[in-house]
Structures are given as structure tokens and as C-alpha cells.
A and B are shown apart, each in its own frame.
Chain A
Amino acid sequence: MSFQYFGLQKPVFARNGWEIPQPNPLVLEKYQQTEDLVRIQTVALVDEMLGKGKTGLQIRSVSSHLYDCVGMIFANRRAWIDIEYVGQILINDGYQPAAKDDLVVGDVVVYTLGSKRVHVGLVTRVLPKLGKISNTRVLSKWGKHGEVEHRMEDVPYYLGKPCEYWSERAPHDIERLFQSD
């Protein structure tokens, strides 16, 4: 469901001028969180993940400002943007699909649960593989919680699995990258 824009929030535009829909500000206006609360909850979440054997999670930041994973990547941490628009944003921003093995820092990983897009993260490091396991690191904003850097596959269950890889690099940049290999 997309809510009508009431003009109280600052609009966010894609590169081609398309205005990215935001939740009705009436929905968000009574939700306020303190930095301490976000910190406590993020630590609890990371501890829970560590308990499931997911190591190497690193909390990057916590903020009382309300933004989500899509807002972190596409709106400079200024807005909450429903994940359902991520496909349209990628197209309207001129992103193109990339191969998992060709990811570089700054590329975008989309996570799906079943066939539904549920999360998006930003590639921060591409390290040599650990055997057959990829060692790409991703920066995520986990819902209301803080930003966490983690191994690409290590996300909470309902954030799904990494399934799509996108890059805004021009095709000739990607070709040059392959040639240099």
C-alpha cells in the first residue's frame, strides 16, 4: 500500500526525477526513539545473532533519527523508505544487475525471503574467499535498529538471503575492471 504524500516530509527523488514514495508522516510522527534505546536493542540483536554462531558482526552506528536500509543507501540516512520500492529505485537510479563474483565496494545487495524483497545492504569490503565461502562485507541498517557491518550472508532470519546484486557503475567501468584482472 502506498500512502498519499502530505507534504510534511522532505521529498526524495531518484536520479531521473521520480519522487520516491514515503510513508504517511502521520504514521511516523508519534514514533520517537532515543539513541540509548536503539543502542540497547541493537546490542541485544547482535548478541542474539552471535548466539546463533554468526560472528564478525560490528555495530557501526546508532541514531535516534528514523531511517531504514533503503533510506540509508538511497536517501543519505534522511528518510524511511519502504523496501517495496527498492526495485523501482534501482531502475530509476540507473542501476544494473551485477554478478555476485564481480561485486566491488559501493555495490548494492538485495535480500529476498521467498521471492519477496525484504532488505538491501551496501557492499563495504570484498575480501578473498574463505574456501568456498564468500567473504564480502555489507553495511546494513536493520529496521529500527542501528547500522551493522556483517558478512554478506549473516542477517536475521526475516531479512532473507542475498539474491540480487546491483551496481550503478557504467558498463565500460565494469569491462575495464574485468580487463585489469
Chain B
Amino acid sequence: MTLSDYFKVIESATFQLQFSVLSGLSVVEFALSQDKTVGDLLALLRRETHHAQDLYRRIRYLLPQLLPENNHSYDESIVAYLYCLNKIDMLIAYRASALIWSSEGLLWSRWLAFKILHLVQQVEQSLDASSVDGESDMFSIADGTELTNTRSLATTSMVTLVSNPDMLGSYAFKFQLQSRRNSETHLVSRVSASY
């Protein structure tokens, strides 16, 4: 199945109805973890990671359609997409959560977005509490075309690991790699400054 096939299934009334009957976020997440379509979509996203951006774009496309007269809000579709993003790309999931949080007419999606934003906030606070080197939180390095902030990368990695304990994969590795690069750059800049 292609990504657009998954969109069709997940945005169908049948899919939305079966998840709309639930009574708690933990049950929604559990049911999504049991759903074959969602499982297959996750597998596709893990194989072809660039689709995470497409999923984010899809959420952005669906959000303005939350009109009461539409008779369904795509809430269950959006929560399924956010659930998948949260499993594979925390940065995009965080961006999507911020977008969803400012939208009206959603229950499950806002609930999951809240959980993600809340978790990020907690990690940020714990980093604040544990930070002893003010310089190390704030400095940024040039990495190709974009600037990467050490703090947000650390937060992202920690949140990803906390929310997906089974995923000791790409982000943990990316974080280690990035931290090493940061330390090296930091060291170089300190050495340069001392001369």
C-alpha cells in the first residue's frame, strides 16, 4: 500500500468510528498499537523515513477541516498520524503537537499532543535543574545548512527514549553523534579563544 492508500483507510468513517468509542488516551494508544493498518503505516514510515514530513503535512491539511457541519472531525485520523510520528520522529511529532494543541474540536489528538508537549516540558525542566554549565545549554553549532541547538536535541532524544522505550535506535545514535560533534566544536572554539 502507498501512503495515500493509508490516508484513505485512516480517514475513512469506519476507521474513525472504531476509535471514537474509547474512554481514555491509554486505551486509544493501546488500540492503535493493535491496529493492523496503523502497524503497516508505521512499518512504511520506518522504511521510508521521508514520509514523516508527508504525515505532518497531512495533519496540517486536515486541521482546518474541523468544522462541526462536516459531521466528523478527523480526530481519530489525526491521533493515528501523531501516534505514528511520535514513534518515528520526535521533532516532527513535537511540531505537529504544537499545531494540534492550538486547534479546536479535537479530543484524542489534543490529548496525545498534550502528553507529548508535557513530556518535552518535563524533560526541559529536568535539564534546567541538572544543568551546571550555562554555556553548554546555549551554544549552537553550524551543522550543514541548519543550526542545531544542543538543548533541543537533547530534549528530543530524551523524550523519544522516554516515550518509546523500545526505540533505542536512530535518535539515541543521532544524539550521541551530535553530542560528540558539539563537544568537539566547543573544544575547538575554547582552544581558539584561549589563543
User: Smallest CB–CB gap between B67 and chain A, Å?
Assistant: 11
User: Smallest CB–CB gap between B16 and chain A, Å?
Assistant: 9
Please tell me if the beta carbons of B23 and A26 are within 8 angstroms of each other in the complex: no
User: Smallest CB–CB gap between B73 and chain A, Å?
Assistant: 9
Please tell me if the beta carbons of A145 and B20 are within 8 angstroms of each other in the complex: yes
Q: Indicate with 1 or 0, residue by residue over B1-33, a CB within 8 angstroms of chain A CB atoms.
A: 000000000000110011111111111001100
Q: How large is the interface on B (under 10, 10 to 19, 20 to 34, 35 or more residues)?
A: 20 to 34
Does chain B have a CB within 8 A of A28? yes
A113 to B23, CA, bound (A): 13
Known A-B contacts A1-B26, A40-B71, A158-B31; A31 and B20 likewise in contact (beta carbons under 8 Å): no
Residues of B within 8 A of A158 (CB): 18-19, 21-22, 27, 31, 34
Count of CB-CB pairs between chains A and B under 8 Å: 99
A120 to B31, CA, bound (A): 16
Chain A minimum-CB-distance residue to B26: A84
Residues of A within 8 A of B13 (CB): 44
Does chain A have a CB within 8 A of B105? yes
Does chain A have a CB within 8 A of B144? no
**B14, B19, B20, most chain A CB atoms within 10 A:** B20
Residues of A within 8 A of B175 (CB): none
Please tell me if the beta carbons of A118 and B23 are within 8 angstroms of each other in the complex: yes
Does chain B have a CB within 8 A of A149? no
Number of interface residues of A (CB under 8 A): 39
A31 to B113, CA, bound (A): 14
Does chain B have a CB within 8 A of A45? yes
Residues of B within 8 A of A48 (CB): 14, 17
A44 to B26, CA, bound (A): 25
Query: Which positions 1-60 of chain A face chain B at CB distance < 8 Å?
Result: 1, 3, 23-24, 26-28, 30-34, 37, 40-41, 44-45, 48
Does chain A have a CB within 8 A of B106? yes
Known A-B contacts A48-B17, A158-B19; A31 and B105 likewise in contact (beta carbons under 8 Å): yes
Residues of B within 8 A of A82 (CB): 23-26
Please tell me if the beta carbons of B114 and A157 are within 8 angstroms of each other in the complex: no
Chain A minimum-CB-distance residue to B107: A31
Please tell me if the beta carbons of B18 and A144 are within 8 angstroms of each other in the complex: no
A119 to B71, CA, bound (A): 25
Please tell me if the beta carbons of A30 and B103 are within 8 angstroms of each other in the complex: yes
Q: Contacting A23 at CB < 8 Å: which of B18, B19, B22, B111?
A: B111
Please tell me if the beta carbons of A156 and B26 are within 8 angstroms of each other in the complex: no
Residues of A within 8 A of B184 (CB): none
Q: Indicate with 1 or 0, residue by residue over B92-132, a CB within 8 angstroms of chain A CB atoms.
A: 00000000000111110011001100100000000000000
Q: Contacting B105 at CB < 8 Å: which of A32, A69, A116, A143?
A: A32
Residues of A within 8 A of B106 (CB): 30-31
User: Smallest CB–CB gap between A65 and chain B, Å?
Assistant: 13
Does chain A have a CB within 8 A of B68? yes
User: Smallest CB–CB gap between B63 and chain A, Å?
Assistant: 12
Does chain A have a CB within 8 A of B46? no
A33 to B106, CA, bound (A): 10
Please tell me if the beta carbons of B23 and A119 are within 8 angstroms of each other in the complex: yes
**B13, B26, B34, most chain A CB atoms within 10 A:** B26
- B interface residue numbers (CB < 8 A to A): 13-14, 17-27, 30-31, 34, 68, 71-72, 103-107, 110-111, 114-115, 118
**Beyond A83-B27, A116-B30, 6 additional pairs, beta carbon < 8 A:** A3-B118, A30-B110, A48-B14, A80-B23, A82-B23, A143-B23
